Amino acid sequence: MEKILWLSLYSDTSMWSKLADKYRVREYVIDRCGEQYVNKIYGIYNSAIEIDYSLLPKSFVLKTTNSCATNIIVKDKNILNIKETNHKLNKWLKFPYGELTGQLHYTQIEPLIIAEKFMEQTKKSEQSLIDYKFFCFNGVPKYVVIYSDREENTHNYSVMVYDMDWNAYPEFVNSRCPISDIIPRPSALEEMISIASRLSEPFPFVRVDLYLINGSPIFGEMTFTPDVISNITPELTDQMSKWIDITSLKQQL
pLDDT at 15: 96
pLDDT of res. 160 = 96
Q: Which domains does the chain have, with CATH numbers?
A: 1-38+119-253 (3.30.470.20), 40-118 (no CATH)
- pLDDT of 239: 93
**Whole-prediction pTM:** 0.93
Q: How does the average pLDDT of the chain come out, rounded?
A: 92
pLDDT of residue 125: 47
Q: How confident is the model at residue 248 (pLDDT cuts 50, 70, 90)?
A: confident
The CA distances from residue 80 to 43, 54, 72, in Å, are 18, 12, 10
Find out whether 119 and 184 touch, Cβ atoms under 8 Å. Answer: no
The SS3 call for residue 84 is: helix
**Residue 153 predicted with pLDDT over 60:** no
Q: Where are the alpha helices (DSSP H) in 75-187?
A: 82-94, 97-101
- Whole-angstrom Cα distance, residue 13 to residue 204? 12
- d(CA 220, CA 39) in angstroms, rounded, equals 8
pLDDT at position 18: 97
- Quick one: which of 217, 200, 201, 219 has its CA closest to 209? 219
Tens-place pLDDT, residues 174-187: 988 889 999 999 99
- How does 42-64 read in b/e, with b if 16+ C-beta sit within 10 Å? eeebeebeebeeeebeeebbbbb
Give me the amino acid identity at 57. Answer: P
Please answer whether residues 243 and 142 qualify as being in contact, where contact means their C-beta atoms are separated by less than 8 angstroms.
yes
Per-residue pLDDT tens digits for 83-141? 999 999 999 999 999 898 889 999 999 999 999 999 987 765 456 789 999 999 999 99
Reported as a single tens digit per residue, the pLDDT across 51-88 is: 999 999 999 999 999 998 899 999 999 999 999 999 99
Q: What percent of the chain has pLDDT over 90?
A: 77
**Are the CB atoms for 60 and 118 separated by under 8 Å?**
yes
pLDDT of residue 175: 87
Contact between 115 and 53 (Cβ < 8 Å): no
